[in-house]
Amino acid sequence: MSLIPGLGIARGMALTLRRFFEPKATIRYPEQKADVPPKFRGRLQLLYDEYGTLKCETCFQCAQACPIECIDMGGLDTKGRFHVHGGPPETYGERREESALRRSGRPVPDPAYTHFEGLDVRALDEILEDHDHDPARMLQILEATQAAYGYLPVAALKRISQVTGAWYAMIYGTASYYRHLRFEPPADEAQAAEVSSRRPAEAAYLARLGASLGGRAGGDA
């Protein structure tokens, strides 16, 4: 850097000497309390209600709000149905371990369970191509995916996340927000038919306004 040997050392020594006389950052805890923001909640912890079930609803809002993406979610949702996970499997090995789940009173998955089944992604890739891989059109992508596969497989969600660049947490949040989107194959015909009569509120709005929402010129099939 410099042509004078030892200048860097001298500058470093000067820096530490200045720090020596600067005010200190330490808070002497029992006597002084830190001045924390009003919404500060301290350590992250999953809580249980009086029935012993996890209060966390796997809504992913914390993961979405986390500015440095340190919150990540994995494991089963509260009803033990869907395996949601947004990180590498080894991160969640401890939490998925059966004895740990039993000890903590959480639902235990089927031992023959696999993360998610493989998926033929050709149809999905066509859908994504149609929607220009645009994460802003997530709802349309999800609806088209459900139309193609009958439901939203985890593998499809991961594929969408990977291709569009949207966070898995956001996609899951979007998918779980809408009633007509589901994560498992429809139980019967009636449930499958629900898809066609989708979004009654939006249908009412459309009838009222005589126009389409969301800039979908000509509507989607």
Binding interface with other proteins (CB under 8 A): 9, 12-13, 15-17, 19-20, 22-26, 28
Which pair of structure tokens corresponds to residue 214? 């969301």
Closest contact distance (angstroms) between CB of 37 and other proteins is 22
Closest contact distance (angstroms) between CB of 9 and other proteins is 7
Closest contact distance (angstroms) between CB of 33 and other proteins is 16
* Shorter beta-carbon distance to other proteins: residue 13 or 193: 13
* Shorter beta-carbon distance to other proteins: residue 16 or 114: 16
Sequence letter at residue 99: S
Torsion angle, CA of 100/106/108/114, rounded to 10 degrees? Answer: -80
* Shorter beta-carbon distance to other proteins: residue 15 or 100: 15
* Shorter beta-carbon distance to other proteins: residue 21 or 40: 21
Asked if residues 152 and 183 have their Cβ atoms less than 8 Å apart, the reply is yes
Collect all residues with Cβ–Cβ distance below 8 Å to 146 and sequence separation of at least 6. 152, 180, 181, 182, 195
Closest residue by Cα to residue 84 from 183, 192, 195: 183
Closest contact distance (angstroms) between CB of 28 and other proteins is 7
Q: Tokens 């808070």 belong to which residue?
A: 27
Q: Tokens 């350590």 belong to which residue?
A: 43
* Shorter beta-carbon distance to other proteins: residue 20 or 40: 20
Closest contact distance (angstroms) between CB of 32 and other proteins is 11
Asked if residues 172 and 84 have their Cβ atoms less than 8 Å apart, the reply is yes
